[in-house]
Chains A and B, each alone.
Chain A
Amino acid sequence: NAGVTQTPKFQVLKTGQSMTLQCAQDMNHEYMSWYRQDPGMGLRLIHYSVGAGITDQGEVPNGYNVSRSTTEDFPLRLLSAAPSQTSVYFCASSQTYQGYEQYFGPGTRLTVT
């Protein structure tokens, strides 16, 4: 099993550009989520999904879209990149949510200039 994979590993965008961060898991997990990590802020939940076709907002959803068309994939779309979105983005998955270990991907480091 590859676990949780994320692409790209690094990305530089100009303000106003759009892009999609890819996330895939091969563990047949129901629950997937996206976090951003900023210095001194810990990790904050952007969006999450409890199954294919179901998504919901987390703590900091503005400027991001998600969809879950399959169990395996959970892409994160930046609609119009802003410097405030410079961060490290982590995707995570778990068998379900309460009490189960979340498996994290290696992260995508995004810089918006």
Chain B
Amino acid sequence: GDSVTQMEGPVTLSEEAFLTINCTYTATGYPSLFWYVQYPGEGLQLLLKATKADDKGSNKGFEATYRKETTSFHLEKGSVQVSDSAVYFCALSVQMSGGGADGLTFGKGTHLIIQP
């Protein structure tokens, strides 16, 4: 079945450091890929997405590129802030042959802690 593997944390960085959170996937079809962020006590919010190979999603200084050849969708940010502290989830959805899709498949989440 479909699966998402991401580095598990916690990941602790200093403010203004460079961030990479690795995400790789296996999928039977042609997935769309997502990064969601969850702040403490809240639901998930979409951070960025990419729907086909070589697409780059970007938002709030975060970027991720859909790499079909390496089945990866790594999240990067050049200079993190304390306000970026949260849990980050990589996820995919695959369109079924009949046109439907059975929701998102999530990685286990990466807890990011940014220290001032």
Measured CB to CB, the residues of A under 8 A from B are 4, 33, 35, 40-45, 48, 50, 56, 58, 90, 92, 97-99, 101-102, 104-107
Contact = CB atoms under 8 A, between A and B. Distances in A.
B106 interface: yes
A67 B8 CA distance: 35
Nearest to B30: A98
Interface residues of B, number: 25
B43 A43 contact: no
A106 B32 CA distance: 24
Which of B4, B44, B95, B105 has its CB near the most chain A CB atoms (within 10 A)?
B44
Given A43-B89, A48-B103, 12 more contacts: A41-B108, A42-B108, A43-B106, A92-B44, A98-B94, A98-B95, A99-B49, A101-B49, A104-B44, A104-B45, A105-B43, A106-B43
Nearest to B43: A104
Nearest to B94: A98
Contacts, number: 61
15 contacts: A42-B109, A43-B89, A45-B104, A45-B105, A48-B103, A90-B43, A97-B93, A97-B95, A97-B100, A97-B103, A98-B101, A99-B51, A104-B45, A105-B43, A106-B43
Contacts of A90: 43-44
B69 interface: no
A104 to B, nearest CB: 4
Nearest to B99: A98
